[in-house]
Each structure stands twice: as C-alpha cells, then as structure tokens.
Structure 1
Amino acid sequence: MLNAWNAVQRGRPPMALRRRNERLLALVRECRWSYDACAAAVRAVALENGGALPSCDRSHVGHWIAGVKPTEMTSRYLAEAFSRRLGRIVGPADLGLVVGDSLEPDLTGLDWWRRDPATDLLTLGRADVERRAFGFTALYSLAALAVPLDSWEDIAERGRRARGGGAAVGRREIDAVRDMLAVFSRADERFGGGHARLAVVQYLTSDVAGYLQGTFASDQDRRAMFSAAAELTYLAGWKAFDSSLHGVAQRYYLQSLRLANEADDRALAGFTLRAMAHQAVDLGHGAEALQLATSALAWSRGRATPAATALFTVLTARGHAATGDRAKTSAALRAAEVHLAKAAPGDEPTWIQTSGFTTTSLASQAGQALRDLGDLPAAETELRRSVATRDTDAYRRIHTLTLANLADVQCVRGRLREATESWNDALDSMVGVRSGRATVAVKNIRTRLSSFGPRLPAFAKQLDQRAAALLVAP
C-alpha cells in the first residue's frame, strides 16, 4: 500500500490503479496493427515533424494501452498515425488520452474552410509569434491535404458575406503590401527561411489582417488586397517549410489557399498547391504530392501563364517519380520544357519572377525527379546544368541545396572526390543562410561519409570535420 501511495505522489499511478485504455486498444485493432507496427507508425510521424522517438517500441504501446499516459506530443503523434491509417481525423481525445491546453481548440482542428479567413490568419499568426512551442507542436497532417476544391466557390461566397466594416482600404495599402512582399521575398531567396520569418508573420497579423477586414471602394480592390495577402501568407508558409517547421508551413499554405480563392486568383492558388506538393514529396508522401500537383494544374487551367504551368507540371513529374512511374515522369518533364519555352518573363506574375522559375530551376527539379527514379547519370546532368546557370547571389539558398543534391548523386555513383568538391562548394555558399533544409543537407553529408568507416580518405575527413563544426555553430 505504501508503494502505491508513493507512486501516486510521484505522478505515476501504480499498475493496480491504472485503467486499461479500451479506446486505444480498439483503434489499434481497427488498424490491424501489431504493437510493433503501431510503434513504427508513431516513430515515422515523430521523425517527419522533427521529434524523433527512436526508442519507441512495442513495450511503449503496451504501457499506453495498460493506462500509462504518454506525453502531450506523443499523444499528437499517435493521433496523426491513426488518422493516416484509418483515413479519417482521429484526435487525442478519441484515443482516450488527456492532452494539455497549450493550443487553443481552433488551432488543433483541421477544418479551416468554414470560417472567415482574415480571422483565421490572425489567430494562426498570433499563435506563431506569441507561443514558442507552436512551431514544434503543430504537426504536419495528411488529413489537412484534403483541400475541398469542388466547393471553393461556396467557401469564397461565405467569405465575401463576412467582409468587415473597418477602415477604408485602397490602392495605397495594396501597394504597401506588395512593396513589403518584394523586400521579404528577395531576402528569403538570399538568406533562407529562418531569416526574418517572424517579421513576415508579424506584418501579416499587425497590418495585413486588418486590411482584409476593411472597407473597399470596389471588388477589384478587394480581390487585389486578398491576392497580395495570399502571396505574403504563402511566403510565411514557405519560410516555415524551409525552416523545417512542417506543421506550421502547412497551416499557412491552407490560409494562402483561402485568401487566393476569395481573390479569385486561381493561378496563385495553384502556386500554393504546388508548394504543398513540394512539401509532401520531400516528406516522402509521393501519392499525395502527385494529387496536389495535379490539382494545381486543374485548378489553374486557363488562368496560369506558361512558366506557372511549367512549374506545376514539373511537380507532377516529382510525384510520378516518387511513385515509380518512369513513363509519366519523362512525359511530364518534356511537357514542362514545352510550356517554359513559351514563357515571356516580363508577362509572368510576381511570384514566378521572384522565385526565379527558369530553365535553371526546371533543371534542378528534373534532376531530383530523375534521382528518385534511380536514373543517376541523367540526374547528375540536370543538376550540373542547374548549378552552372544559377544566379548564385540572388538565389543563394537554392544554389546551396542544388549543390548538395549534386554531391549526393556523385557520392552514390562512387565518385567521392567530386562529391567532396561539390559539398565543399555547398558549404561555401551556405555562409549566412538560415535554412532548415540546408541543415538537413549538412547532416546528410555526415551520414554519407560515415558509411565509409575507417576507409574514409583524408580529404573527405576534412569535409566531415567542417560539416560537424557547422552543425554545432550557433
């Protein structure tokens, strides 16, 4: 009896006082999972969201079913793992787990389509700025990728009816948002997503959200402001994605889609769907990436310029490659080249001009698609072409990542000295860049080199030491 009392005092109920979690057990059985399979699914979700749980195994699942409460974050990982397996949204409450109140209920839900987008943007931005843990507790969710494209007109009409009666907003305010967007976008391409990320969010919440709730002299002005806000919200999502804050990025992307929809800017909505496809394929969700990229093409058809259509098409190639379809990958790459050949740079939208989608960017994406297919010689050719033609000062981050991809292919092909040279070039280009994706690339260097063991040549050991020093630098 004394041992039981001591256990309660330490916050760990003794086994005799625990109640078996029947809800969790029922869901494990519905998934037809073994305890090992359940633990593996939880580890996969945790790793994807930057919270690796390498020690999670079947014994942990057994303890949870026996009544031991996992941490709040582990509960979230569990809920997402079940959601993916069952094809429906499963929350921690459905698992019989007690979750803390670190996030408001309106941030844990996935249905952002029923409310006013300006209010949702304000709620999301404030949580991002004011709550340090938000970036780590907001999980990337496959359920949130179910974008209701077939009902967007109804969604937009609800938003128009909810327009506010605030201060008058006109061309001057629209131009101000566009000017700030240009400044933030140029800095992002040069210095990475970690540079001034929260400054973008603060501007969204302090100024832009207010403009969206204002009074407009014409519907044309309203659409122009919502389009500018959608583009800036996309940038907030892209910066979070580049910072490896995938759950936060996904939520900004969803808000960008809402705003672009209300602006009736289908091409910009396609651009955001393309970014969601990019995120999905990078996280290993090839089928979902293909669906999103295909949706970008379908939703923007007749509205998108040639370069935009080429960009959306090359993401379908990434999706086909991730799902192992060689013929469709090749066809999509050829189609993207045809579309891009028709582009007139001066006639492209600002988001194409700022992101610099040209033959250089197309080559980088093509190289990654071919790499995923296992065609390493062709992948190296495309990546080399991208490196050779890039404006390295204006687009330093993507140049860094392309060099790292090239080096990785060279290493796999058995040319370690060339790979080392490319990796060193990547580290040179990385100076001053704050990017989670760049950090992942540096970690990959060490992983690749560690596979050589004691056979690692001296020139490669120097690279490994340099990479290690970068990872521990503030």
Structure 2
Amino acid sequence: MAREKNQRLAALLEEACWSRAQAASAYNRVAAETLGGEVRENSRIGPSHVSMWVGGTKATGVAPILLCQALSRRLKREVAPQEAGFTVPDSPAQEALDWSVDPLIALNALGSGVDAKRRRLLAGGIYSAMSLILPDEAWWRAMAQPPETPLPGGKRVGRGDVETVQELTLAFSRMDQKRGGGHGRSALDEYLHLEIPRLLTGRFPDDPTRRTMFSASAELAYLSGWMSFDNSEHAVALQRFNTALKLAARAGDAPLSGHIMRAMAHQALDMGLRPKALQLARASVHGERYLSATPRERALLGVVHARTLAANNRKTEAAKALLRAEDDLSNAREGIKEPNRTFFFGEASLAHETACTLRDLGDPKRAVREFQRSVRTRGAQFRRTHAVTLGYMGATQLTQGSVEEACATWSHVLDAMEDGIYSGRARGTVVDMRRLLSPYRARGIPAVGSLNARATAYLANVD
C-alpha cells in the first residue's frame, strides 16, 4: 500500500526555505544540544531521513520533537508536532517540569551534571513551549506558605550555611562571565544535587533563615540553568530554571522569581518563541517582582522586556521600556545594596541589550553604535559576553554592507574563543559568521577568505 505524503511537513520545509540537507543539518544541531552525545533512535539523521518522512514514513524516536524544534527556531514561532503531521507520545521525563512537583523531588530528578541516568532523563525532555506556561496566582500563594510542621531530624542549618551557598554561587557566576557556561558546570551541579537537598531539609532556627536558604538555593539552580543555556544545552537549562523558580516561590522571593523568568524569556527569544518570550518577560516585571527589586535588577528585567516587545513588533512599547530601563540603571548608586546576581549588569550590558532591541526594531545603524558602546565599556572579566556582543555587532555591520568592517569585528570573536571561551552561544556566532559570509566567498575579498579559513579551523577543532 502506497504511503501518503506528509503535506504538512513538506509545507513547513518550503516555508523555511530548507533543502533536505539543510533540514537535516539543523536537526543535528538541535540533537547535539539536547541529547548531550547520547545515542538514541534518530539522534542523528541525513537528508534521506527527511525525504522519507516527507514521503510518508513514520518519524520515530526523538525525531518528531527535534525536527519541530529545529523548524521553530527557523520560523521564529512554535511548530507543534501535530502541525508537522507527527504524533508524539507523552514523555515521562517531562514530569519533572510539572509545577505540582515539589522542588526537592525535582532536584533529585535532575541528578548530577555527568551522570548517565540524568542524561537518559534529559534525553526524553526536549525544550518545548508547553513547558513555559507559568502557574496561576493560587500556586504562588500556596508555595510561599511556611511548612505547617518542621521536617524531623536533619542537620541544623544557619546563616553561615546560607552564606556558603551564596559565596559559591557568586564564584561560579564570575567564572561563567569570564569563561562561559561550558566551563565548570559539572562541579556546580554536583553541589546542587548532593548538598543543597540536605540543606533544604535541615532544621532552621527561624523562618527567615529558611526562606533565605531557599532563595540562595534557587540562585544556584538558576545559575546552573543559565550556564546550560549559554552552552546551548536548552532542555537542561529549562529544567534548571523550572526548579529554581519553584525554590524561589518557596522562599516567597518575588524579585528573584522575576530574575529567573527574565532568563527564561531570554532563552525563549533565542529559541524563536517570540510570543512565549513576551509572556515570560511581562510576568517578570509584574507586581512585586519589579516593584520590590533594586534599581539595577529593575533595569535588567526591563531591558529584556524591551527586547521581547521589539521581537513582537511592538515598537512604541519597546521604546518606552528601553527608556524606563535606562532610568532604572541611572538610579543604581552606592548605598543601595544590590543582590549578587546583578553584579554583571551595568552600562555595557544595558548597551548590549539596547543594541539587540534596536536591531530587532529595524534600526541597524543605531544598533551598531550601541554594540560599540557595549564593547568599549565592558570590563575584561566579562569576556564571554564580550565575544557574543562582537558576534552580534559583526552580523549587524554586514546587513549594512560593511563586509570588511564585519570581518574585522568577527576576528576579535575568534581571538576570544581561541583563548579559552567555552560557550555555545559564542560558538553559535562563529557558525553564523560562516553562514552570513557564504555569499561573499566567491568575490575574492581577502578579509573574507582569511576569516572563513580561521573560523573553519576553529569549528573543526571544537566539534
């Protein structure tokens, strides 16, 4: 019996302007990010797989979800399996993302950063827009209630234990800013998995200490999520952010909850889920999440909100949000105690996010100026973000026809990467660099040939 052609998938590939080979290449990138090297059914495919699925052969294993994720990124909107003509069974690994799951259970489910069992769990949990739906207000109120009876036994947990977690988080956060999320996260994850549950189930002298410990643990889980996101491990990042948000809710820490939502919005935007990103960003600046935050954190929440507004073509609202973020940062001054998690956010970071917003609003000239301001004002301890900024700036310069200027900018990205930056986002700028330069390779421009050869050699060594 002849198979029926999958017209829905064929239409999506046509909309994406993808050949079968290009679709397979995008699929394999998503698979590498999601599966972490684990071999599963259809963990790597070729153009013939895509042709067979279009022809009506059933896509099995992880194929439906991975292909839909690749299409979502390309089309800048969510593509559900049903839209592509696929059916996907529920994945038990997604249970850890359920808002009804206790954060301590979620921590145990996450496991360590290198454990094979954890990899099997994460392989079933693909980054999905369905996991970005936030719980209702009743959930937040219930989570913030103190336990009716203290847990029996357990070690005594005091302020010194809280400070230890905070100091560890800050140390890893500084390393992430300097070297990228791919450096050192396994050590952080071991502590998160083995030590944090013991601290959260200990005996606290009072409720403020309990809440502070839950906040400190939430920040550590958030940082693991951010490092995973930076290293393009998106399913892992989503699970870490989910757990961090549950812990922050247990602490009743509204500004921290907003901070985590801001990161989730940033990730959703990078994944092409623009409406979801806007929903998360709006939630991050809603009510006490914004009102109780310090000026520096308000500016951070606000500028990501501006980016999501711009990505959804809400130009007037995006411009207003940018101005508010600038005002908030100008109010950050000595004497106001800011949380450690905002240490990286200053003029350079604001300029970077502003540039991205202007770029998405269709103003590349002003965007380049803001990227340049970011590069000029950023300190040496923020080398990872510096590389990402340069990558974006080169791409924006190229859209203005400044090919040699873009090549000069991108050469500095490779300088940083070759000097020891371990970041999937920064590496992604090198991949984009080669793709964007492709139309110029046959024109005999020396800077293009030299940069392309260097980028090719770099990618060959890290892949």
Q: Place the TM-score, normalised by the shorter chain, in its bin.
A: 0.7 to 0.9
Change (3 A) 1:136 1:396: farther
Of the three residues 116, 124, 142, the one matched with 1:130 is 116
1 CA distance for matches of 2:176 and 2:265?
A: 20
Using the size of structure 1 for normalisation, the TM-score is 0.82
Query: Partner of 1:244: helix, strand, or coil?
Result: coil
Residue identity in the other structure for 1:305: T
User: Which residue of the partner structure matches residue 325 of structure 1?
Assistant: 314
Q: Are residues 329 and 154 of structure 1, via their aligned partners in 2, closer, same or farther at CA, if it must alter by over 3 Å?
A: closer
Q: How does 1:306-345 map onto structure 2 within 5 Å?
A: 306-344=295-333
- 2:385 corresponds to which of 385, 398, 403: 398
Instruction: Return the offset for 1:410.
Output: 1.2
Task: State whether structure 2 residue 435 is matched by structure 1 residue 457.
Answer: no
Match of 2:56?
Answer: 63
Q: Are the equivalent residues in 1 in contact too, given 2:157–2:202 (CA < 8 A)? A: yes
CA RMSD of aligned residues (A): 3.1
Residue 185 of structure 2 aligns with an amino acid whose one-letter code is R
1:350 matched to which residue of 2? Answer: 340
Q: Which of these residues, 100, 123, 140, is aligned with residue 114 of structure 1?
A: 100
Quick check: 1:194–1:243 contact (8 Å CA) kept in 2? yes
C-alpha displacement at 1:447, in angstroms?
0.9
* Contact persistence 1:49–1:247 (CA under 8 A): no
Decide whether the 8 Å contact of 2:146 with 2:207 is kept in 1. no
Contact 1:125 1:205 (8 Å CA) reproduced: yes
Gaps (5+ residues) in structure 2?
17-22, 33-43
1:365 equivalent in alignment to 2:353: yes
Q: Distance in 2 between matches of 1:84 and 1:424?
A: 34
Between stretches 334-343 and 223-232, larger displacement belongs to: 334-343
Tell me, in whole angstroms, the C-alpha distance in 1 between the residues paired with 2:15 and 2:250: 37
Q: Please say if residues 64 and 88 of structure 2, whose CA atoms lie closer than 8 Å, have aligned partners that are also in contact.
A: no
**Against the structure 1 CA distance between its residues 229 and 115, is the aligned structure 2 distance closer, same or farther, given a 3 Å change threshold?**
same
Mapped contact 1:135–1:245 kept (Cα < 8 A): no
Cα pair 1:322 1:372 within 8 Å, conserved: yes
Q: CA deviation at 1:426?
A: 1.6
What percent identity do the matched residue pairs reach?
Answer: 34
Shift of 1:136: 5.1
Structure 2 Cα separation of the partners of residues 224 and 174 of structure 1: 7
1:176 aligns with 2:168: no
Residues 1:206 and 2:194 aligned together? yes
- Which residue of the partner structure matches residue 431 of structure 2? 443
Whichever residue aligns with residue 248 of structure 1, its letter is V
CA distance in 1, matches of 2:286, 2:78: 25
Q: May I ask how many residue pairs the two structures share in their alignment?
A: 430
Q: Which has the higher contact order (CA 8 A, sep 6+)?
A: 2
2-structure distance, mates of 1:111, 1:41: 31
Whether the 8 Å CA contact 1:237–1:251 is kept in 2: the answer is yes
Q: Is 1:269 matched with 2:257?
A: yes
Mark the structure with the bigger radius of gyration. Answer: 1
Deviation at 1:128, TM superposition (A): 6.0
**Contact 2:112–2:186 (CA under 8 A) maintained in structure 1:** no
AA matched with 2:180: G
Displacement of 1:415 in angstroms is: 1.2
Please list every run of 5 or more consecutive structure 1 residues that lacks an aligned counterpart in the other structure. Answer: 1-14
Determine if the alignment matches structure 1 residue 34 to structure 2 residue 34: no
2:30 corresponds to = 49
Could you say if the C-alpha distance between residues 172 and 376 of structure 1 is closer, same or farther in structure 2, counting changes exceeding 3 Å? same
1:245-276 deviation digits (Å, cap 9, x = unpaired):
11110111011100001111110110000001
Q: State the alpha-carbon separation in 1 of the partners of residues 28 and 360 from structure 2.
A: 20
Distance 1:136 1:444, change over 3 A: farther
Which secondary structure does the structure 2 equivalent of 1:268 belong to?
A: helix
For 2:351 and 2:12, how far apart are their aligned partners in 1? 39
Find the counterpart in structure 1 of residue 412 from structure 2. 425
Query: Would the aligned equivalents of 1:129 and 1:201 in 2 still touch at CA under 8 Å?
Result: no
**SS, match of residue 451 in structure 1:** helix
Distance (Å, rounded) in 2 between the aligned partners of 1:421 and 1:96: 46
Paired with 1:119 and 1:163, the residues of 2 have a C-alpha distance of 17
Partner of 2:206: 218
- Return the offset for 1:114: 1.3
Q: Which of residues 95, 105, 108 in structure 1 aligns to 2:87?
A: 95
Q: How does 1:175-254 map to 2 (within 5 A)?
A: 175-254=163-242
Distance 1:128 1:297 in 2: 35
- For the residues of structure 2 that align with 1:96 and 1:463, how far apart are their CA atoms? 42
**Structure 1 residues 274 and 47: CA distance shift in structure 2, 3 A:** farther
